[in-house]
Amino acid sequence: MELSHINKKGEAIMVDVSDKNITVREAIARGKIFMDPKTVELISDGEMPKGDVLAVARVAGIMASKHTQELIPMCHSIPLDSAKVEFEILDENIGIEITATVRCTWKTGVEMEALTAVSITALTIYDMCKAVDKKMSIGEISLIKKTGGKTILS
């Protein structure tokens, strides 16, 4: 099997996408942050001391998707058409599920941008809530859908 990010000398490289077709590409990633139900309640009621946790986390996730190439060494700089972050309270208020959807019209996909958006969104929630909940955990971050390129995941 040939690795796309390694040259014949075994050196890390950025994949050359110059011959790829420009297509509409979308990736959806999901992750969860688990916390005390009282913390979820504080977030939902807008009573967290640092402010509107979900509004700040949403902006952080969208910004992170636009800067993925600065964080992940071999990622391409991709002109994003859309980045969206959504939240759902988990059953029994045990945490928050984060879903990021990223779209572009380009030569390579936006999987890393969607995964980065979820990760930074979760870290922002953690940062804004750590003063009241020391036992939060972040997990289950995964790509759940990818369309528009050679490989489709749905």
Single out the catalytic residue among 19, 36, 81, 127. Answer: 127
Nearest to 89 by CA among 123, 42, 49: 42
19 is an active site residue: no
Strand ordering across the sheet containing 95-106: 80-89, 95-106, 23-34, 137-147
Q: Which residue has the tokens 């590409």?
A: 25
DSSP letter string, 23-80 = EEEEEEEEEEEE--HHHHHHHHTT--TTS-HHHHHHHHHHHHHHTHHHHSTT-----E
Show which residues are catalytic.
127
